[in-house]
Structure 1
Amino acid sequence: MAEIHDDMAEDMAAEKAAHETELQVLDRPTIRAEASTPWGMAQVSRRYAEGIVLHSTASHGGFHLAEKANSAVHALYRSDDGFYEEDCEWAKVAHAFPQLFTAYERRLADRTLRDYFPDAYERVTGAILNGSQSHMRDRREFESVHRNDWVVIAALNSDHQPGFVECIATLGGIRGEVGERRFLVPRSDYSTGRHGFVIDPLKHQPYDGPSSFVTWAARR
Structure 2
Amino acid sequence: DSTMARLAQIHLCIEVPEEACPLGLAPTSSTTATLIMGDAIAIALLQAKGFTREDFAMSHPGGALGRKLLLKVNDVMHSGSALPLVKHDICISEALYEISKKGLGMTAVIDDEAKLVGIFTDGDLRRVIDAQVNLRTTPIAEVMTRNCVTITDGILAAQALQVMESKNINGLIVIDKHHHPIGALNMLDMVKAGVI
Short-chain TM bin? under 0.3
Q: Give TM-score, length-normalised by structure 1.
A: 0.24
The answer to which structure has the higher strand fraction is 1
Is the radius of gyration larger for structure 1 or structure 2? 2
The answer to which structure has the higher helix fraction is 2
